[in-house]
Amino acid sequence: MKIHLPLADSPIYGYLHHAYLFGIIGHSESFQPWMHSYYTQLFCAKDFVELACPVNFYQLDNCPLRDTQAISRSLVISLTDIHRFIQTSLEEGYHVLSFINEYYMPYSDFFGVRNFTHDLLISGYDSEQQSYLVTNFVDGKYQTFSVSYDDYENAFNNAAFFDEYGNYEEYKTRICLYRATDHKYVFTADSVLYFLEDYLSATNRLKTIFANESNLAFGMDVYQYIAEELVKVTDGTRAPDGRPLHILWEHKKCMRAKIEFMLAQGYIKDETLLSGYEPIERDVNLQRVTLMKYRQTHNNDILHSINSNLNRIKDREREVLNRLHDEMLACKSYFPTTDWVRV
């Protein structure tokens, strides 16, 4: 028997939790309205150490377009064979996410080198080939490929649930089942306005994720902490990390797409907002690519140049997004109240 659940191409892939979500719900007619209602706010850990993802989108905990079932892996193992559980879940239309040890996965850079527990999404199986269809990073590229039942089982059985500092990570002990819902989501422009105001003012009024936010920075302040991190790279106290600039670029991709969407739907009228924002997206991508060159040359002048450019980009983005904010307020009176209700 062969099962292959659909997985859409994800517009962002810097972190798997976003890419997996977008892949699962990306075929829904409500995907664009939902995505463009959110993915506006950014946050980071000020020390770039406290969080596993140093820079990330600040999102609501749940997505109405995805049905989620989280089950203890120990409970699953006590009740049934893991392969039977995965296959039955896939047959019911659920993608399966579990944490596995990539030391045992031939596709991984960690294969046979060191233990590394990470999430893996399964979207299909082939009983004849005795393999699962999975999605993950291979050689730095986000892609879908096959792994054998045996390799998966070894990696699953040897997953670790403690971080490098010995802290217990309970979320790794769950198996999550995901499938798209038929929920009809209506774009909420007021959500965009709400998060845009927080982004521009570097604040967070929606305190739903972290109990203590004293070591977190939000919105435009993220630029400052990326710059400080690059300074630490120049003085040798920090290794270069491409993720912050990659996520910053994906944020600009999302914001540019949001402006396009709102123009197309008539929520805003000023087309110069798009022409003003497109160069910002391109320039952040250029800084991301430039950092890759630094990792080959270790020329600190490259990092100084990136920081100078990020300062200019920040000022330009603030100007365009302030105009977007004013344009949205000016256009708000044209639309029914229901289109602006915050969710």
The answer to whether 71 and 174 are in contact (CB under 8 A) is yes
- Mean pLDDT for the chain? 93
Q: What is the mean pLDDT of residues 166-176?
A: 91
Q: Give residues with Cβ within 8 angstroms of 79, minimum separation 6.
A: none
d(CA 324, CA 330): 10
Residue 340 pLDDT greater than 50, yes or no: no
Helices 189-201, 243-264: inter-axial angle, 10-degree rounding:
140
pLDDT of residue 341: 43
Q: What is the mean pLDDT of residues 225-231?
A: 96
Residue 336 pLDDT greater than 60, yes or no: no
pLDDT of residue 213: 76
Q: What is the mean pLDDT of residues 133-158?
A: 95
Q: What percent of the chain has pLDDT over 90?
A: 84
**In 187-242, where does DSSP find H-type helix?**
189-201, 221-234
Q: CA-based Rg of the chain, rounded to a whole angstrom?
A: 21
Tokens of 293: 């060159």
Q: What percent of the chain has pLDDT over 70?
A: 94
pLDDT of residue 166: 79
Q: How confident is the model at residue 339 (pLDDT cuts 50, 70, 90)?
A: low
d(CA 87, CA 89): 5
The answer to whether 310 and 192 are in contact (CB under 8 A) is no
d(CA 134, CA 118): 13
The answer to whether 311 and 227 are in contact (CB under 8 A) is yes
Q: How confident is the model at residue 206 (pLDDT cuts 50, 70, 90)?
A: confident
Q: Where do the DSSP E strands lie in the chain?
A: 2-4, 42-45, 55-57, 66-72, 95-101, 117-126, 131-138, 141-148, 174-180, 216-218
pLDDT of residue 211: 52
Q: What is the mean pLDDT of residues 107-118?
A: 95
Enter the DSSP assignment of 162: B
Give domain 2-37+66-180's CATH number out of 3.90.70, 1.10.3470, 3.30.1220, 2.40.128: 3.90.70
Domain ranges of the chain: 2-37+66-180, 189-340
Hey, how many other C-beta atoms are within 10 angstroms of the C-beta on 48? 18
pLDDT of residue 332: 78
Hey, how many other C-beta atoms are within 10 angstroms of the C-beta on 125? 26
Q: What is the mean pLDDT of residues 190-211?
A: 87
Q: What is the mean pLDDT of residues 254-276?
A: 97
DSSP-assigned beta bridge partners for residue 217: 44
Segment 15-52, tens digit of pLDDT: 999 999 999 999 999 999 999 999 999 999 998 876 77
Q: How confident is the model at residue 272 (pLDDT cuts 50, 70, 90)?
A: very high
Residue 60 pLDDT greater than 80, yes or no: no
